[in-house]
Amino acid sequence: MTQQTRVPLPGSERQAVPDAQPAGDVHPDERLEVTVYLRSRESALNARLNALAAQPPAARAYLSRESYAQQYVADAADVARVEAFARAHGLAVVNTNRAARRIVVSGTATQLSAAFGVELAAYHYPDGGSFRGRQGPIYVPSELADIVRGVFGLDNRPAARAHFRRAAEIEAAAPRISYSPVQIGKLYDFPTGVDGRGETVAIVELGGGYSDADLTTYFQRLGIPKPRVVAVSVDHASNSPSGPGGADGEVMLDIEVVGAVAPGATIVVYFAPNTDQGFIDAITTAVHDNVHNPSIVSISWGAPEVTWTQASIQVMDQAFQAAGVMGVTVYCAAGDNGAYDFPSGPGRQAGNHADFPASSPHAVGCGGTRITVSDGTIESEVVWNDPGDGATGGGFSTVFPRPSWQPAVQGQAKRGVPDAAGDASPLTGYAVRVDSHDTVIGGTSAVSPLWAGLTALVNQKLGKPVGFINPLLYGVPARSGAFVDITAGNNNGYTAGPGWDPCTGLGRPDGVKLAAALASPE
């Protein structure tokens, strides 16, 4: 295949990483695995989702994973063309999953560079981190340009950040108090008499791990049954606790919040590398997992939209569309750096930025609040913004248009985030156990699993999954009281006000009233 027969793959362009310095060539014989994603039947998926959006939960007919695999699999001819291309370049076909529309191929760095027309190089950060990177587009044969939607794994730069904040790291001398997830559930009036039994919550993790001993201790102290927790390896990653300074805090927070709210639910943790390939493969693995069959997905990792390739965004969003037609609800943390979304320091870009994947219209973006509690009830609740120590993400997408079910605000024609909120300030954070230590953690990372646990309760109460919940949330009448509107505070870019706003969305839930509103929509 000559260079002249190739064309740039739309949306594959990579920019240089700010402050990363070249560190030499990649070893030509280094063995790599790359995931190739193929085109989907997006128009058919959208039509089905639009039909579901107009129906109440009780009337919705979702596809089983088996039915989805029969109706929406990658075309066999498309698969054959891509596999033939791979073999022609000396690449091995490791795995083909037609339901997830992905083909994993492997080869040396030299073979893959030649096959996809890229130059791979090693880079390092001033702080010592390193990665394999590329710049510019990926090239594919012209006859594959309409078939291939993304090629991931050539570049393995870190893709996302965990959206959690440790209370111990806050320097401000501010009053602080912590709550167990069970206490937050009571404050938010989560349904009682159900425990999530029969539901499976998928959690996506891009690093870190959990300890069964810690989970046993934690749930014994809460006086509730320890949930069943299963680890699934994606792209050779695994449950690998790395110590209190790493991503273990994210992993344990997610599991402990879901498990405390819905101890009867099964929790399946999909561990993947922190790369765009790992993130996307973890999501498609969870969505199409016909062994564990998750009904809810919780994602507490993300990054500003502008840091993703368009191909990454498109493929991930299509996975969320597939989740919707199979009755799977997806929650994503909206970010912890306010409306800017970038942390302070190198690489920060000016202006306000929405966090992805929370900005996908097929996921529920979860923002953050700070609560004040008196005599066991919430006295006040405001936008989470601890000056200098984190604030809820929120704003408007530059990628996705405003969906029909979201109200137009501030003259915006783009998708607004977040959709909903919950307690996120580390100053009113969650008491959890990580690496044999009791600690307090906040951040919008806590809100995604909180909503996931609530949804497990609601699904059990309704007797069926709510699935693609976004249009249902916006369709809940204000008089139902399903949401408590948050009207005070800002996220350093936008100000809260009556109704939906780009700080806390529709507000935080009243669990019992939300379950009732979803069961009997008006």
Q: Please, what sign has the CA dihedral across residues 319, 465, 297, 332?
A: positive
As a whole number of angstroms, the distance between CA 145 and CA 11 comes to 11
Element housing 250 (H / E)? helix 248-261
What tokens appear for 173 in the block? 């001398």
b/e burial code for range 5-34 (CB count within 10 A of at least 16 → b): ebeebbbbebeebeebeeeeebeeeeebbb
Q: How would you label 461-486 residue by residue, b for 16+ Cβ within 10 Å and e otherwise?
A: beeebbbbbbbbbbebeeebebbbbb
What does DSSP say about strands 31-38 and 508-509: parallel, antiparallel, or unpaired?
Answer: unpaired
Element (H, E) at 332: strand 329-333
| Residue given tokens 């498109």 in the structure block | 314
Q: Is the peptide bond before 357 cis (omega within 30 degrees of 0)?
A: yes
Coil, strand or helix at 165: strand
Q: Tokens 């498609």 identify what position? A: 284
Tokens of residue 19, six digits = 């402050």
Neighbours of 405 (CB within 10 A): 15
Place of tokens 């953050």: 368
Please report the DSSP string for 199-236 in residue order. -EEEEEESS----HHHHHHHHHHHTSPPPPEEEEESTT
Q: How far is CA 49 from the centre of its chain?
A: 19
Helix crossing, 248-261 with 212-222: angle to 10°? Answer: 40
Residues serving a catalytic function are 250, 254, 445
Q: What is the 3-state secondary structure (H, E, C) of 113-124?
A: HHHHCCCCEEEE
* Residue 442: Cβ within 10 Å count: 31
Cβ-contact 270, 288 below 8 angstroms = no
Query: What is the rounded (10 degree) CA torsion for 279, 218, 182, 490?
Result: -50
The residue among 134, 88, 93, 137 whose CA lies nearest residue 115 is 88
Alpha-carbon span 261 to 428, nearest angstrom: 17
Query: What is the identity of the amino acid at 361?
Result: P
Please name the residues in contact with 129: beta carbons below 8 A apart, sequence gap of 6 or more.
158
Strand, coil or helix: what is 141?
strand
